[in-house]
Amino acid sequence: MPDVSAPRIRRDRYSRMVALLKVAFPLAALALLSTLFLLSRALDTETPIPFADVEIQERLRDQQITGPFFSGTTTDGDQMSFYAEKLVTLPGSVGGNRAEDVLAKIETDKGTTFQLQGDVAELDIGENTAVLTGDVSMVSSSGYRINTARLTALISELDVTADGEVLASGPLGQLTAGKMRVFKPNQTDSTQMLFSDGVKLVYTPN
C-alpha cells in the first residue's frame, strides 16, 4: 500500500521553508541597508579640501611662495642666505616682495657671522634693500645680540642699519643706543659695528 504521508511531509517542509525565507530576506535586506548607512556616516563626505576656494584665489592673486630659500655672494665676497615661511609679491610693485617669519645669515670673508630674524621683511630689488620689522634681532659670532623694531639691510653688500632704539648685550655688558650700523668701510677692511645717538653702556666686567 503506497505511503500517502510522504507528499504531505514534503509540502509541509516546502511551506515552512517559504515562510522562513519570507522573513529572512527582508531581515537580510534591512541588515545590508543598515551597514550602508553606517558606512556612509563613517566616511565624512563634508571634509573640506586642504585649500579652500578663498585661499586658492589669494594664492593666485598674490603669487605666493611657501618656504622660499636662496643664497648668494655679495660684491665683497661675503656669503648671504635667506629663508622665510612665506613670500608674497606686493600688488602694483615691480620687484617688491613681502616675506614673513624671516631668517637671514651673513658670513663675511673674514669668518664673522651675523644672523638676522624678523616677523616681516619688505624686499625691494630695485632699491637693493630688505627692511625687517616686528620682533627683530641680530646675533653676531663676536657675542653681540641686538634687538630693535626695524632693520634695513642692503641686498648686494653687508650694510645693516637700525634707525630706531637699539638694545644690545655683548662682551662689554648691556648697551642702548638711538642708532646702529654694521658695515665695511671698504672691501679690505674688517666689519665694523657702530652705535650712535645717545649711547649708554652698563659695563659688566668678566
pLDDT single digits (tens) 130-141: 999 999 999 999
pLDDT tens for 61-116 read 556 788 899 888 888 889 999 999 999 887 776 778 999 999 999 999 888 999 99
Residues 174, 107 within the same domain: yes
Looking at residue 58, what is its pLDDT? 55
Q: What length does the chain have?
A: 206
Question: Is the predicted pLDDT of residue 201 greater than 70, yes or no?
Answer: yes
Q: pLDDT higher for 50 or 198?
A: 198
Residues 82 and 103 both lie in one domain: yes
Q: For 87, what's the count of Cα atoms within 13 Å in the CB-facing half-sphere?
A: 17
Q: In this structure, are 5 and 89 located in the same domain?
A: no
Q: Phi/psi of residue 92, each to 5°?
A: 75, 15
206 pLDDT tier (thresholds 50, 70, 90): confident
Q: What is the pLDDT of residue 126?
A: 84
| 43 and 60 belong to one structural domain | no
**Are 19 and 100 in a shared domain?**
no
User: In this structure, are 118 and 194 located in the same domain?
Assistant: yes
**Torsions phi, psi for 39 (to 5 deg):** -65, -40
Domain that holds residue 20: 1-47
Three-class secondary structure assignment of the chain: CCCCHHHHHHHHHHHHHHHHHHHHHHHHHHHHHHHHHHHHHHCCCCCCCCCCHHHHHHHHHHCCEECCEEEEECCCCCEEEEEEEEEEECCCCCCEEEEEEEEEEEECCCCCEEEEEEEEEEEECCCCEEEEEEEEEEEECCCCEEEEEEEEEECCCCEEEECCCEEEEECCEEEEECEEEEECCCCCCCCEEEEECCCEEEECCC
Identify whether residues 15 and 61 lie together within a single domain.
no
User: Are residue 109 and residue 12 in the same domain, yes or no?
Assistant: no
Q: Do 100 and 62 reside in the same domain of the chain?
A: yes
Last residue of a domain, one of 47, 63, 81: 47
Q: Are residues 36 and 100 in the same domain?
A: no
> Could you tell me if 91 and 138 lie in one domain?
yes
Residue 118 has pLDDT above 50, yes or no: yes
pTM beyond cutoff 0.75: no
Per cent of the chain over pLDDT 70 is 67
Please tell me the predicted confidence (pLDDT) of residue 205: 80
Q: How many domains does the chain have?
A: 2
**34 lies in the same domain as 67:** no
Give residue 16's pLDDT.
Answer: 65
